[in-house]
Amino acid sequence: MSILSKRIEKLEGSGIRKIFDLAAKSKGEFVNLSIGQPDFKVPANLKKAAKTAIGNDCNSYSATAGVSKLKQQIALKLQRDNGIKAKEDEIIVTSGVSGAIFLLLASILDPGDEVILPDPYFVVYEQAIKFLDAKAVLLDTYPDFHIDVEKLEKMITSKTKALVINTPNNPTGAVLSKRELQKIAKVARKHGLLVISDEIYEAFDYEQQFASMGSVYKNTVTLNGYSKSHAITGWRVGYAHGPKEIIASMNKLQQYTFVCAPSFAQHALANEPDFNFAPIAKQYKKKRDLVYQGLKDKYELNMPEGAFYAFIKIPAGRKDFINELIKHGVLVVPGSVFSQKDSHFRLCFAVDDAVLRKGIEIIRSLA
């Protein structure tokens, strides 16, 4: 008899982490366009605030739901920037958005429940749904990676519990407009669905078309955090806002799992909430343009509207293309990591411009 549970044996190893480990062992010999984390420096005042928080002994557990001052600021941010009527007691601070995803899905799903998941998708969703003995029903969004509401409605059954949207999207860079969200909200309202809106890449919105689902549909759990916008992926501070019953259940589960998000990081963010991201957004838009202009004549790809990824179609008949890239010193993530299809690869352009140009040159040469 196996010591391992059937549940854990269902999980597949992360394809992203496999590439991450390969890059870590390579000692810089690859042009690494794979790992989704920002390449800019953490704001100096936030670093200072973290040191101050540690020096002031903010090193113990916080309240499970998070530091009150930080939750108040999150509520104000959601009201001001996202059009969501948020209150402090409708918010939980989590160990990154990945922590929030697990707490949320574990709080709402029973075995056999269905969650509609647009394909391509961020890897955690499919695996977490599977782990909980529920079913991810994949909604094909190829080729433009936006949601067709007629197709969406046909997939809803009596078992459908929730719909996941991720805008700006990882891995495709697609951003859903407010008009698109209103159409989705109409379908969700008709069928009484919970919408899970993952907005962690909100700051990376190059065409100014981002909108929050929670501003048009009340029965939404909004997921967001600071990892990408503040370049603190290792600090693990995310948050969720939604109906009180759901947030209270997530808080109950967090007591027995993550306990709380890192205390020093919460206090640092609470004491240094203001950060002018606009100059960085301009830099990343230039990187986006560099990728699109550099590859559009050789490869099939959509202009990324947000996030910091391009989802690029592999040339026809090139089944071993990812290995070709590796042999030529370029790391990307296979599209199959994010999708039931194996037709694309994800390129992360959150790297130094010189590295990005070198990667584009090699990828062009292999077209």
Question: pLDDT tens, 312-338?
Answer: 999 998 989 999 999 999 999 999 999
Q: How confident is the model at residue 10 (pLDDT cuts 50, 70, 90)?
A: confident
Q: How confident is the model at residue 16 (pLDDT cuts 50, 70, 90)?
A: low
* Nearest in space to 333 (alpha carbons), one of 9, 21, 10: 21
H or E element in which residue 197 lies: strand 194-198
| Phi, psi torsion values for 107, nearest 5 degrees | -80, -25
Euclidean distance between CA atoms 198 and 184, whole angstroms: 15
In whole angstroms, give the CA distance from residue 70 to residue 90: 13
Q: Is the pLDDT of residue 210 over 70?
A: yes
- For the chain, domains (ranges, CATH) are 6-42+277-365 (3.90.1150.10), 61-271 (3.40.640.10)
What's the burial of 357, exposed, middle or buried (CB within 10 Å: 0-12/13-18/19+)? Answer: middle
Give residues with Cβ within 8 angstroms of 33, minimum separation 6.
330, 331, 332, 347, 348, 349, 351, 355, 356, 359
Our separate counts of H helices and E strands in the chain read 13, 12
- Sequence-separated (6 or more) residues with CB below 8 Å from residue 6: none
Q: The dihedral of CA 205, 303, 35, 107: what is its sign?
A: positive
Give the pairing of strands 31-32 and 330-331.
parallel
The answer on pLDDT for 21 being more than 90 is no
| DSSP code at position 324 | H
Quote the pLDDT of residue 277.
Answer: 95
> Per-residue b/e over 82-101, b at no fewer than 16 CB within 10 Å?
bebebebebbbbbbbbbbbb
pLDDT of res. 36:
86
> What's the pLDDT score for residue 208?
96
Joined tokens for residue 303: 């202009």
Please report where in the chains the tokens 């690869």 appear, as a residue.
345
